[in-house]
């Protein structure tokens, strides 16, 4: 069960896997001559496993939106990033998991539909990429907020926050316009929604690996470690200043809650 669950997670995290058509999948299976049990297992995974992930994904992200949209949280830049990220994850779950699971019931909405095919992958790529980079900047915000340097703590202003969020969404919207050329669902691909040629596959794979699979996790790790170091230094300083223990503890309690929520998002 753990293997199957991790396999489904990889399907969501790496949209290129969704581009394999059923014809190419079964042609590979024919070469391997799978047993009847293997075929039944694959069918069950596609029918019920993806449906389970869709339900849990919708419930989980909906709860995130409910929690992060509360008034006393919404004013914080970190929470605002997590809120928008959860909304974008809902789009990824709907266009990525739901439509993919329908194929197992012989309902392929992208078959011979080039417009919907292009829009589907465009929404998946934009929402997934923007969600990742918003979490990256949420980690940067927590690093700055936990710093002992007052200039670092005051760097994030409302004007800068709006510019950062707008820039992330705009860059993601522009970066994946290549999907409208590379994805096809016509006689070129036998009606299936998939990439049209090897050049598009190389460009798309390279950009996805760099800007989605390598840079975001590396930045999250780096700023996460720096944030934990800031917290360690802050605790040492609090222990030396007995007169300011209570107010600092109150602030740290809220910061700890935000850091815990952020770490949960990063682990996903």
CATH architecture, domain defined by 2-6+31-267: Up-down Bundle (1.20)
Cα separation, 39 vs 164, in Å, equals: 47
Phi and psi at residue 104, to the nearest 5° = -65, -15
| pTM: predicted TM-score of the whole model, two decimal places | 0.76
Residue-range domain boundaries for the chain: 2-6+31-267
Residue 123 structure tokens: 């929404």
Q: What percentage of the chain's residues is helix, strand, coil (to nearest 5)?
A: 85, 0, 15
The tens digit of pLDDT for each residue in 117-153 reads 999 999 999 999 999 999 999 989 888 888 878 787 7
The tens digit of pLDDT for each residue in 177-221 reads 999 998 888 777 777 888 888 898 998 889 889 889 899 999 999
Cα separation, 119 vs 205, in Å, equals: 18
Answer yes or no: are the C-beta atoms of 103 and 185 closer than 8 Å. no
Other C-beta atoms closer than 10 Å to the C-beta of 54 total: 19
The tens digit of pLDDT for each residue in 34-48 reads 466 676 777 777 778
Predicted confidence at residue 35, as pLDDT, reads 62
């Amino acid at each position: 069960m753990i293997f199957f669950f991790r396999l489904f997670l990889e399907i969501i995290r790496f949209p290129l896997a969704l581009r394999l058509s059923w014809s190419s999948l079964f042609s590979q299976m024919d070469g391997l001559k799978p047993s009847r049990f293997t075929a039944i297992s694959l069918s069950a995974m596609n029918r019920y496993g993806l449906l389970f992930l869709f339900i849990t994904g919708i419930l989980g992200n909906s709860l995130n939106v409910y929690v992060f949209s509360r008034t006393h949280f919404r004013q914080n830049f970190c929470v605002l990033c997590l809120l928008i990220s959860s909304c974008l994850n809902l789009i990824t779950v709907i266009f990525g998991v739901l439509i993919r699971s329908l194929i197992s019931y012989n309902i392929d909405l992208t078959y011979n539909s080039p417009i919907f095919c292009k829009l589907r992958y465009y929404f998946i790529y934009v929402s997934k990429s923007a969600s990742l980079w918003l979490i990256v900047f949420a980690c940067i915000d927590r690093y700055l907020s936990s710093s002992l340097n007052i200039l670092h703590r005051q760097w994030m202003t409302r004007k800068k926050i709006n510019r950062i969020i707008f820039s992330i969404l705009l860059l993601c919207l522009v970066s994946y316009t290549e999907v409208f050329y590379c994805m096809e669902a016509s006689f070129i691909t036998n009606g299936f929604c998939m990439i049209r040629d090897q050049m598009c596959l190389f460009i798309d794979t390279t950009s996805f690996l760099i800007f989605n699979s390598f840079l975001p996790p590396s930045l999250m790790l780096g700023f996460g470690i720096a944030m934990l170091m800031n917290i360690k230094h802050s605790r040492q300083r609090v222990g030396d200043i007995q007169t300011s223990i209570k107010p600092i503890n109150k602030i740290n309690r809220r910061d700890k809650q935000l850091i815990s929520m952020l770490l949960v998002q990063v682990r996903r």
